A and B are shown apart, each in its own frame.
Chain A
Amino acid sequence: MNRISRLLAVSALALMPAFGLVPAQAETTPDTLVEAWAIDDIISLDPAEIFEFSTAEIAGNAYQRLIGFDINDVSKMYGVVAESWTVSEDGKTLTFKIREGLKFASGNPLTAEDVAFSLQRAVILDKSPAFIIGQFGLTPDNAMDKIKQTGDYTVTMEMDKPYASSFVLYCMTATVASVVDKKVVMEHEADGDLGYGWLKTNYAGSGAFTIKDWRANEIVVLERNDNFSGAAPAMKRVIYRHIPEPATEQLLLQKGDIDVARKLGSEQLDALSSNPDIKIQQGVKGTIYYLGLNQKNEILAKPEVRQALKYLVDYGAIADTIMKNKAIVHQAYLPRGFLGAVEDTPYSLDVAKAKELLAKAGYPDGFSVTMDTRNTPEITAMGEAIQQTFAQAGVKLEIIPGDGKQTLTKYRARNHDIYIGRWGPDYQDPHTNADTFASNPDNSDDAAAKPLAWRNAWDIPEMTKETQAAVLEGDAAKRAATYQKSQREHQQVSPFVIMFQEVEVDAMRKNVNGFIIGPSFDTNSVAEVTKE
């Protein structure tokens, strides 16, 4: 949507009080929860491939994973499909005892065979999230040997190194470790694809809800799973409607045509906050907003310049205006809630200090630089705010707008100067972000691994070694200390200006209770929703 139409949309909504809006007559059915969201990121419903926000959430409600964690204290892990687990003497073999009596939605019993199959399948299919399990030395070639069913209800997984068990277990909480119904999936196998072609658009799980229907860019329908082993949800159906336009979502919510609006902007949230029929609920997510400074640019490669730019962002002002209700200031690569996350914020807007640093670097009058900016309203506004504060120290920032895939293509090819990025962790263990922000095993252009440090051409052999060593540290306290030290160093020297942590804010009708916004998207839960 271009800026003019946005402006007009906002002014249209501003007129609403003048009409005395809005009477609520429409209501959704009492046993159906209707959510409006942008669900255009769905590309697959197969847990071995799911890697997007909305599908992660849907899978979280429709599939069970081996392990879960307490969303209020993520350090507390518990078994879901796994009843318990043991680690071998040498720390390289993990044995899961599978809970007995679980059933799939199909009515088939859930056994160790399904668990082993699901993990092997994810590794063999080798889709985007497969690396989460694969990083323990599992490959499509050895998956069948390393992951084994050893009894009706036991499964073992053999790893190449004695990884910290918390690291391994957190990976087992990810969507990719969801358990699928082997019998149902294999009934639909075609050309040895392990049922991939079918499961992309179908369902074979054991969660609180089944995935009944998905019409791309239109609707996802979940239906209560009557064979679910846990407490039966109160809702019979949960419907996600694709409503990409926030102003439209606001209207639908006010009218009562939907129960929950998931993609509102700051203006809509402000307007709704005084409505007595609506309540607003929020939860801190693991997603981080940052600037990546490409070290191939020789100006940005100077340590003083990197520091100076960190003093040239008005973190507080952006968080209070553009990102109001939707982000908090955060300046370390681990989001709060993660083991070892550092919460101090050493940087704030300090033009004098930045000028001093720039002079030291040899740029007393500043310099010119470009920034690739995704053309979503929030990122664009953030970019413009940063442009203004940069200018105060003479740094002339040229904004290059583009759509998501366009800017990303450039970023992945290391052709940017500065890039505004948004990064969500892949699983709940600190290694996920450490591995991408503080590790770069090979800085050459054709490197095999291309983490964010690589994308910004930041060559850090020492820090890489430390990061890779941290996953082998068995003592959680020591591990946390390692990450804290790493983050503080990272704050000082890295070419990343880490700025905010995202807050998910949803507006819902007053009568909706039990809607859970977890720390990650796959922990957003509708299983306990009731409507009065």
Chain B
Amino acid sequence: MRAVRRFLISVGSVIASFALTFLGLLAVTFFIGRIVPVDPVLAVVGDRAPPQVYQRVFLELGLDRPLYEQFWMYLQKALTGDFGTSVLTANKVIDDILRVFPATIELASGGIVIGTLFGVPLGVLAAVRKGKLSDQIVRVVGLIGYSAPIFWLGLMALLVFYARLDWTAGPGRLDIAYDYIVTPKTGMLLVDAALAGEWGVFANAFSHLILPASLLGYFSMAYISRMTRSFMLNELAQEYVVTARVKGVAEWRIIWGHALRNAAVPLVTVIALSYASLLEGSVLTETVFAWPGLGQYLTNSLQNADMNAVLGSTLVIGAVFVGLNTLSDILYRLLDPRVRGER
């Protein structure tokens, strides 16, 4: 019982720190948004609006009031999920985000699945064959994934696999011919198409997803494999591994059954954080592949000084980041008995 109570308390403190972090994020984004030397009124009225129109919108946006008052108003609304109206899309920011975010989730999820499926085994391989050629190869492949500009890799991938070989579809989420067939339910095309039983749409959406998701997958694979390698090296040096070997346990069982199992605990955190960074960091990928997700939405709002949209999407990204971090913290506590006891 005591253990359960302690666990609940620690989860509670994690959640409390989530709330505080979120509040901090809200304040920082708001004030940065107000400090930047960009006039939010211009976003509403355009470059050539006459002064009286400008003045009216200035008042409508409440920009004449003191900053703390503006923040208080913003806070009250934001906590109820109301981030105001986007001047670019004329929709409520929250509706916009709900519309574009599934596209990003779909992309990032594809990426993290690919990254994990390849990253973990490669990392294990590199650890086991430390210093050998295969280790070097994994490291070089990882290094390229980590350091090559994602923008350039994306274009090259399009050139080779879409333009030259014709293996995949090009930019966008669907071919024009498949548009408007499926009514969005979740916003994730693969899921929606599967729910509707439209397998033609599913296949088309899949072929559009495969390139950008592989690219993001490659990017996260580089990180995941590197971390897996180091966790595995750490585990393989532990006493229980030596003991197991002495007891004559098969080497593959030691690696995949014992060592990886223990390395899996910190790996969960790595994968969760990697997923979070894919969700926020796919801006360039979304631009190259004309993927209408949150990254593109945010960039576009920034360029157009659509501050409500910028604040709203920054908050969502921040919340996802903090949320996934918190989740992995909780998972960590659940999975690792050593941490569970700690306070």
Contacts and interface: CB of A to CB of B under 8 A. Distances in A.
A206 to B, nearest CB: 23
A245 B287 contact: yes
B151 A1 contact: yes
A405 B171 contact: no
B163 interface: yes
Contacts of B292: 215, 217-218, 242
Interface residues of A, number: 66
Interface in A141-198: none
B67 interface: no
Contact of B159 (A16, A41, A201, A408): A16
A41 B300 CA distance: 9
A15 B51 CA distance: 50
B342 interface: no
Contacts of B305: 405-406
Contact of B171 (A130, A243, A406): A243
A242 B159 contact: no
B295 to A, nearest CB: 11
A265 to B, nearest CB: 14
Contacts of A16: 159, 163
Interface stretch (A18-26, A90-98, A342-350, A494-502): A18-26
B249 to A, nearest CB: 50
B182 to A, nearest CB: 14
A128 B45 contact: yes
A251 interface: yes
Interface string A239-283: 101111101100110110100000000000000000000000000
A216 to B, nearest CB: 4
Interface in B279-294: 284, 287-290, 292
A216 B297 CA distance: 9
Contacts of B151: 1, 5, 8-9
A28 B176 contact: yes
A229 interface: no
Interface in A212-237: 215-219
Nearest to B287: A245
B43 A40 contact: no
A248 B42 contact: no
B48 A408 contact: no
B156 interface: yes
Interface string B36-77: 111100111111111111001000000000000000000000
Interface in A400-445: 402-406, 408-410, 412, 426
A244 B287 contact: yes
Nearest to A16: B159
Given A128-B46, A216-B88, A252-B171, A406 B163 contact: no
Contacts of A43: 44, 46, 87-90
B259 to A, nearest CB: 40
Contact of B39 (A9, A25, A247, A409): A409
Interface of A: 1, 4-5, 8-9, 12-13, 15-16, 19-23, 25-26, 28-29, 32, 34, 40-44, 51-52, 126-128, 130-131, 200-201, 215-219, 239, 241-245, 247-248, 251-252, 254-255, 257, 402-406, 408-410, 412, 426, 447-450
**What are the 9 A-B residue pairs with the smallest beta carbon separation, nearest first?**
A216-B89, A405-B305, A8-B152, A409-B39, A128-B49, A5-B151, A218-B292, A12-B155, A405-B38
Given A28-B176, A255-B170, A406-B37, 15 more contacts: A5-B284, A19-B164, A20-B164, A21-B164, A41-B304, A43-B88, A216-B86, A216-B90, A217-B300, A248-B171, A251-B171, A405-B38, A405-B43, A412-B39, A448-B52
17 contacts: A1-B287, A8-B152, A29-B176, A41-B304, A43-B89, A127-B45, A128-B53, A201-B91, A215-B99, A217-B292, A217-B297, A244-B287, A248-B289, A403-B38, A403-B303, A405-B43, A408-B47
